[in-house]
Amino acid sequence: QVQVVESGGDLVQPGSSLRLSCAASGFTFTVFTMRWYRQAPGRERELVATIGRNGETTYADSVKGRFAISRHAANQTVTLQMNSLVSEDTAVYFCNARSLTRDIWGQGTQVTVSS
């Protein structure tokens, strides 16, 4: 089955760290560009981080220096390490895998940053 499945969302306090994981299956992971998006209540979905097939990364300005995306071919996972979390990071986080011919989305994992 072609899918990506997110995990790792939680309720954390401001200043905390959290690591999200995205497990890919059913497709050739290495040829896909992988991305993390997020969507907060009442807001549009926004791109958070991208990692290309060769490991090149880009980040939204709002998370630059705090978040790090990485990919692991051996177990077909993508992780998003999130540090120094703030309340504005509260959102559902979605994993996306995209190639020239396919666009695969997960169901999302909830991250809530609150004291």
Per-residue model confidence as pLDDT tens digits over 12-54: 999 999 999 999 999 888 889 999 999 999 999 999 999 999 9
- The mean of the pLDDT values for the chain is 96
What is the pLDDT, as a whole number, of residue 106? Answer: 97
What is the pLDDT, as a whole number, of residue 16? Answer: 98
With bands split at pLDDT 50, 70 and 90, how would you rate the model's confidence at 86?
very high
What is the pLDDT, as a whole number, of residue 28? Answer: 85
What is the pLDDT, as a whole number, of residue 83? Answer: 98
Distance from C-alpha of 96 to C-alpha of 79, rounded to nearest angstrom: 12
Report how far Cα 10 is from the mean position of its chain's Cα atoms: 14
Report how far Cα 51 is from the mean position of its chain's Cα atoms: 10
